[in-house]
Structure 1
Amino acid sequence: MSRLLREPGGPADLSEVELGRRAYRRGRQQRSVLVAALSTVAFAVVMWITLANTPGWPRVQETFFSWEHAVRAFPAVAEGFLLNLRVLAIASVLVLIVGLAIALLRTLRGPVFFPIRFLAAAYTDVFRGVPLILVLYLVGFGIPGLRITDDFIPGEVLGTAALVLTYSAYVSEVFRAGIEAVHPSQRLAARAMGLSHAKTLRLVVIPQAVRKVTPALMNDFVALQKDVGLISVLGAVDAVRSAQIATAASFNFTPYVVAGVLFVLLAIPTVRLTDWYTARVRRREQMGAVV
Structure 2
Amino acid sequence: MEQPTPLEPTPLELSRRQLRAGRSRRSTLTSLISTLVFAAVLYLAITSAPGWSRTQATFLNPQVAWESLPKILEGLWLNIRVLVVAAVATLLLALVLAVLRTLRGPVWLPLRLLATGYVDLFRGIPLIVLLYLIGFGVPALRFTDGRINPVYLGTVALVLTYAAYVSEVFRAGIDSVHPSQRLGARSLGLSYGQSMKLVVLPQAVRRVTPPLLNDFVAMQKDVGLISLLGPLDAVRAAQIASQSTFNFTPYVVAALLFVLLSVPTARLADWAASRAARREQSGAAL
TM-score (norm 2): 0.93
1:78 to 60, 69, 73: 73
**Cα gap change, 1:22 to 1:197, in 2 (>3 Å):** farther
- Offset at residue 112 of structure 1 (A): 1.2
Q: Which string of whole-angstrom CA distances, capped at 9 and with x for unpartnered residues, describes residues 122-180 of structure 1?
A: 11111111111001111101111111111211111111000000000000000000000
2:209 to 214, 224, 240: 214
Aligned to 2:259: 264
**Cα gap change, 1:242 to 1:25, in 2 (>3 Å):** same
- Offset at residue 30 of structure 1 (A): 3.3
Q: Which string of whole-angstrom CA distances, capped at 9 and with x for unpartnered residues, describes residues 168-222 of structure 1?
A: 0000000000000000000010011111111100000000000000000000000
Residue 96 of structure 2 is aligned to residue 101 of structure 1: yes
Letter in 2 for 1:261: L
The secondary structure found in structure 1 opposite 2:50 is: coil
Counterpart Cα distance in 2 of 1:285 and 1:17: 31
Aligned to 2:113: 118
Counterpart Cα distance in 2 of 1:71 and 1:25: 48
- Offset at residue 283 of structure 1 (A): 1.5
Aligned to 1:193: 188
The secondary structure found in structure 2 opposite 1:82 is: helix
Q: How is 1:273-288 mapped onto 2 (pairs within 5 angstroms)?
A: 273-287=268-282
- Offset at residue 51 of structure 1 (A): 0.8
Higher mean C-alpha deviation, range 66-75 or range 31-40: 31-40
- Offset at residue 32 of structure 1 (A): 2.5
Q: How is 1:230-241 mapped onto 2 (pairs within 5 angstroms)?
A: 230-241=225-236
Letter in 2 for 1:139: I
Residue 151 of structure 2 is aligned to residue 173 of structure 1: no
1:43 to 34, 38, 49: 38
Q: How is 1:220-259 mapped onto 2 (pairs within 5 angstroms)?
A: 220-259=215-254
Counterpart Cα distance in 1 of 2:155 and 2:148: 12
Residue 137 of structure 2 is aligned to residue 142 of structure 1: yes
Structure 2: stretches of 5+ with no match in the other structure: none
**Cα gap change, 1:66 to 1:183, in 2 (>3 Å):** same
Counterpart Cα distance in 1 of 2:283 and 2:182: 27
Counterpart Cα distance in 2 of 1:138 and 1:267: 28
The secondary structure found in structure 2 opposite 1:195 is: coil
CA RMSD of aligned residues (A): 2.2
Aligned to 1:30: 25
1:164 to 154, 159, 163: 159
Counterpart Cα distance in 2 of 1:139 and 1:214: 30
TM-score (norm 1): 0.91
Higher mean C-alpha deviation, range 37-46 or range 168-177: 37-46
Letter in 1 for 2:211: A
The aligned length equals 281
Counterpart Cα distance in 1 of 2:216 and 2:152: 19
Query: What percent of counterpart residues are identical?
Result: 58
Residue 87 of structure 2 is aligned to residue 92 of structure 1: yes
Structure 1: stretches of 5+ with no match in the other structure: 7-11
Residue 55 of structure 2 is aligned to residue 60 of structure 1: yes
- Offset at residue 18 of structure 1 (A): 8.5
Counterpart Cα distance in 2 of 1:204 and 1:150: 48
The secondary structure found in structure 1 opposite 2:31 is: helix
**Cα gap change, 1:147 to 1:198, in 2 (>3 Å):** same
Letter in 2 for 1:239: A
**Cα gap change, 1:92 to 1:20, in 2 (>3 Å):** farther
Counterpart Cα distance in 2 of 1:168 and 1:99: 5
**Cα gap change, 1:194 to 1:15, in 2 (>3 Å):** farther
**Cα gap change, 1:250 to 1:203, in 2 (>3 Å):** same
The secondary structure found in structure 1 opposite 2:208 is: helix
